[in-house]
Amino acid sequence: MEDKELFEKLGKIEVRTGKERQIKSYVLRNNVLDEKDQEIVRKYFPKYGLFYEEKPLNFKEVFNNNKPNIIEIGFGMGDTTAKMAMFKNDSNYLGLEVYLKGFVKLLSTLGEYSIDNVRIMRFNAVDVLTGMIEDGSVDGFHIFFPDPWPKKKHHKRRIMNQEFLHLLATKLKKGGYIYMVTDWEEYAEEVVALEPNEPLLTNPFGGYAPPVAWRPMTKFERKGMEKEYTINEIWFERV
C-alpha to C-alpha distance for 115 and 113, rounded to whole angstroms: 6
C-alpha to C-alpha distance for 75 and 238, rounded to whole angstroms: 23
pLDDT of residue 11: 64
Task: Let me know if residue 159 belongs to a domain.
Answer: yes
The tally of domains found in the chain comes to 1
Task: Let me know if residue 97 belongs to a domain.
Answer: yes
Active site residues: 147
Task: Let me know if residue 210 belongs to a domain.
Answer: yes
| Tens-level pLDDT at each residue, the chain (239 residues) | 777 777 777 765 444 444 444 434 333 444 567 888 889 999 999 999 999 998 999 999 999 999 999 999 999 999 999 999 999 999 999 999 998 889 999 999 999 999 999 999 999 999 999 999 999 999 999 999 999 988 999 999 999 999 999 999 999 999 999 999 999 999 999 999 999 999 999 999 999 999 999 999 877 777 777 878 889 999 999 99
Task: Let me know if residue 204 belongs to a domain.
Answer: yes
Task: Let me know if residue 36 belongs to a domain.
Answer: no
H helix or E strand, kind and range, residue 142: strand 138-144
The answer to whether residues 184 and 155 touch, using CB atoms and an 8 Å cutoff, is no
pLDDT of residue 31: 59
The answer to whether residues 83 and 216 touch, using CB atoms and an 8 Å cutoff, is yes
pLDDT of residue 29: 45
pLDDT of residue 125: 94
Among 157, 84, 159, smallest CA distance to 128 is for 159
What tens digit of pLDDT does each residue of 150-176 get? 899 999 999 999 999 999 999 999 999
pLDDT of residue 35: 84
Task: Let me know if residue 7 belongs to a domain.
Answer: no
CATH code of the domain containing 138? 3.40.50.150
* Full residue range of the structural domain in which residue 56 is found: 48-238
Whether the full predicted model's pTM is greater than 0.85, yes or no, is yes
pLDDT of residue 12: 59
Among 78, 74, 173, smallest CA distance to 128 is for 74
Task: Let me know if residue 160 belongs to a domain.
Answer: yes
What tens digit of pLDDT does each residue of 91-125 get? 999 999 998 889 999 999 999 999 999 999 999 99
Task: Let me know if residue 18 belongs to a domain.
Answer: no
